[in-house]
Amino acid sequence: MAEHDLVIRGGTIVDGTGTDPFTGDIAIDGNKISEVGKVTGKGKREIDAKGLMVTPGFVDIHTHYDAQATWDPYLTPSSQHGVTTVVMGNCGVGFAPVKPESRDELIDLMEAVEDIPGAAMHEGIKWEWESFPEYMDALDKRSYAVDIGAQMPHCSLRVYVMGQRGIDNEPATPEDIAKMRDLTYESLKAGALGFSTSRTDLHNTLQGDPVPGTLAATDELFGIADALKAYGGGVFQIAATHREMEKEFDWMLKMAKDTGRMVTFQIQQIDEAPDLYQKMLDHLDEARAEGVTNIRGQHSGRPVGLLMGWQTSVHPFIGFPEYRPYAEMPFKERLEKLKDPAVRAEITGGKNVDKLGDFGTFITTSFHKMYPMGEKENYEPAPEDSIAAIAEREGKTPAEVAYDAMMLNDGQAMLYFPLFGYSTNDYTAIEATLRHPQTGLSLADGGAHVGAICDGGTPTFMLTHWARDRSRGAKMPIQDIIRIQTKDTAEQYGLYDRGVLKPGMKADVNVIDFENLTFTHPEMRFDLPAGGRRLWQGAKGYRATILSGVVVSENDEPTGNLPGHLIRGEQAAPAA
């Protein structure tokens, strides 16, 4: 007679704590792990994990599935990369609270900030809420292939309380701040995992204006943070202008001290100040020396990678008047035109004269940071692999090399542009940040930037690149790579019931063919509502992903089981 609901036999267990891998079994009963080690009892179902790696499910704390969660129970692509918990509502953008007349405004903000097609959100979102608690209730009625947690977003909160004044970034009055504080407290009572705000000049409306909250004074930020202090829970997440991070640090540190809550902000290397990341790590060291450990840097495990192709949001010719006549053509018709040598000569001989702004110009003209993706992705390319270097070797212009590279694979090939984290053409900054004790893996942006970035598969990248394949630098122990995206990320958001394979913990488990784990090649799909586009990258090698004791994916395909649900607030660790 079976003694357990599920037994995973003979796998190499990497349990999430950072301890060395070991061979053993895992027994699951209900939604909890009941035994780890040598399991003598039989299971109603058994998974043979010999030669495979067994890990906790991955916890991705920086996603933007706020809209997608209302129509896609699988929250792809994250669920295809071993992720069993996602946290959304980051960077101050989201969809609650909202008055009916402001719904379009919030969709426009999400489209502008996170590059999610507005038409897809207009068709896909079924509005069932006004308040944040009502939004949580709407999510709670649904079932998923992952567990989801939400945060109160500053943009929607400010628009809800201040209306047009909030949109115009006018200063909040004491009455405005008190109302935002009360609504944030209400959201925490309803189960919000925190509050998020955007203060970066990269986040603008479709009209080019700063999103609501960008210019908020510290009295507004501290007033809202008082809700977290009073409630005794929740994370304060910040997306700030990269080059201004050092100036922002003082108030963030003060907030961490005053509230006792987790305060988290992004740390990434940027080209205009390539050593700034190290200064931010030094500030975290100083904070830790004071005993302040509830302020953490969020970082990405690989460079934030723009992908450039004829169907993406940006590519080297997007600002060329010579390209403009073809830009709006259906792709097949456009491709036929682009194959014409005369058209090629016209476009590659043109000039980038459109007003793209400093950031847009930097992206579209920095050929030394563009790399052909080729048949196999290389996310740590060498300088000699760049478009600029190839052009110099071959006696061509960089525009010609870029054009020809994008024309491969019948016009669907792409260029890779490591935007942040790659100013020195290596992983020095990422590795230093990754190894720092007061940073957290984040910024994969699952569900967002779907026309330009395809980093939702970062959990798979962490295993394949850092622990197995890296050739341009040192690898990292697999137990560390697993810990930083399971136990560490879970605990940062107070989810102490998951992220570790121990008896009593939530039965979120991956069974992975580590030696053969691979990505699928990035591609553009048109599978969002209203035929919206998104860059897509899956994985091969996840033999099973288990959520709350239920197999939700097997051999890289969803099973159709949807045991995932909304997480309401911090989750306590099981009793010893």
| Residue 32: CATH number of its domain | 2.30.40.10
Q: State yes or no: pLDDT of 135 exceeds 80.
A: yes
Token pair, residue 475, equals 């690898």
Interatomic CA distance for residues 347 and 353, integer angstroms: 12
Q: State yes or no: pLDDT of 300 exceeds 80.
A: yes
pLDDT of residue 8: 98
Structural domains of the chain, count: 3
User: Is the residue at 568 inside a domain?
Assistant: no
Say which residues have a Cβ less than 8 Å from residue 288's Cβ, sequence separation at least 6: 437, 438
Secondary structure of 333-363 as H, E, C letters = HHHHHHCCHHHHHHHHCCCCCCCCHHHHHHH
Say which residues have a Cβ less than 8 Å from residue 256's Cβ, sequence separation at least 6: 262, 263, 287, 292, 294, 295
User: Is the residue at 526 inside a domain?
Assistant: yes
Task: Looking at the structure, tell me whether residues 317 and 372 fall in a common domain.
Answer: yes
Task: Looking at the structure, tell me whether residues 381 and 261 fall in a common domain.
Answer: no
Task: Looking at the structure, tell me whether residues 88 and 237 fall in a common domain.
Answer: yes
CB count in 10 Å sphere of residue 561: 16
Average pLDDT in the chain: 96
As a whole-number percent, the residues of the chain with pLDDT over 70 amount to 100
Task: Looking at the structure, tell me whether residues 371 and 273 fall in a common domain.
Answer: no
φ/ψ of 334, rounded to 5, equals -60, -45
Token pair, residue 309, equals 């192709």
Task: Looking at the structure, tell me whether residues 20 and 126 fall in a common domain.
Answer: no
Give residue 391's domain range: 310-412
Report whether 538 contacts 465 (CB < 8 A).
Answer: no
Q: State yes or no: pLDDT of 476 exceeds 80.
A: yes
| Of 267, 157, 245, nearest in space to 200 by CA | 245
Task: Looking at the structure, tell me whether residues 227 and 127 fall in a common domain.
Answer: yes
> What is the average pLDDT across 541-549?
98
pLDDT of residue 352: 75
Task: Looking at the structure, tell me whether residues 237 and 374 fall in a common domain.
Answer: no
Q: State yes or no: pLDDT of 573 exceeds 90.
A: yes
User: Is the residue at 226 inside a domain?
Assistant: yes
Look at 157-161, 235-239, 412-416, 572-576 and tell me which has the smallest mean pLDDT: 572-576
**pTM, 2 dp:** 0.96
User: Is the residue at 276 inside a domain?
Assistant: yes
As a whole-number percent, the residues of the chain with pLDDT over 90 amount to 95
Backbone dihedral region for residue 351 (phi beyond 0: left; psi -120 to 50: alpha; all else: beta) = beta
User: Is the residue at 572 inside a domain?
Assistant: no
Q: Identify the residue whose tokens are 């097609």.
A: 117
Task: Looking at the structure, tell me whether residues 108 and 195 fall in a common domain.
Answer: yes
Interatomic CA distance for residues 339 and 332, integer angstroms: 11
Report whether 153 contacts 94 (CB < 8 A).
Answer: yes
Task: Looking at the structure, tell me whether residues 270 and 181 fall in a common domain.
Answer: yes
User: Is the residue at 75 inside a domain?
Assistant: yes
- Residues 82-105 pLDDT 10s: 999 999 999 999 999 999 999 999
Q: State yes or no: pLDDT of 140 exceeds 80.
A: yes
| Of 548, 557, 571, nearest in space to 6 by CA | 548
| Of 297, 250, 311, 538, nearest in space to 440 by CA | 297
Task: Looking at the structure, tell me whether residues 98 and 173 fall in a common domain.
Answer: yes
CB count in 10 Å sphere of residue 22: 12
Task: Looking at the structure, tell me whether residues 161 and 219 fall in a common domain.
Answer: yes
Strand spans (E) along 193-313: 194-199, 235-240, 262-266, 295-299, 304-308
User: Is the residue at 126 inside a domain?
Assistant: yes
- Domain-terminating residue out of 492, 515, 542: 492
Q: State yes or no: pLDDT of 235 exceeds 80.
A: yes
- Residues 347-401 pLDDT 10s: 999 887 767 888 899 999 999 999 999 888 899 999 999 999 999 999 999 999 9
Say which residues have a Cβ less than 8 Å from residue 447's Cβ, sequence separation at least 6: 63, 64, 65, 66, 67, 68, 75, 78, 88, 114, 116, 456
Task: Looking at the structure, tell me whether residues 457 and 329 fall in a common domain.
Answer: no
Q: State yes or no: pLDDT of 190 exceeds 70.
A: yes
Interatomic CA distance for residues 491 and 115, integer angstroms: 29
CATH of residue 191's domain is: 3.20.20.140
Q: What is the DSSP letter of 145?
A: S
Say which residues have a Cβ less than 8 Å from residue 291's Cβ, sequence separation at least 6: none
pLDDT of residue 218: 96
CA 122 to centroid of chain Cα atoms: 22
Helix, strand or coil for residue 132? Answer: helix
Residue 238: C-alpha distances to residues 67, 199, 300 (Å) = 20, 7, 15
Residue 401: burial class (beta carbons within 10 Å; 0-12, 13-18, 19+): buried
- Domain-terminating residue out of 468, 492, 516: 492
Q: State yes or no: pLDDT of 17 exceeds 90.
A: yes
Confidence of residue 169 (pLDDT cuts 50, 70, 90): very high
User: Torsion angle, CA of 341/346/348/350, rounded to 10 degrees?
Assistant: 180
Tally of CA atoms within 13 A in the half-sphere of 523 that contains its CB = 11
Confidence of residue 1 (pLDDT cuts 50, 70, 90): low
User: Is the residue at 299 inside a domain?
Assistant: yes
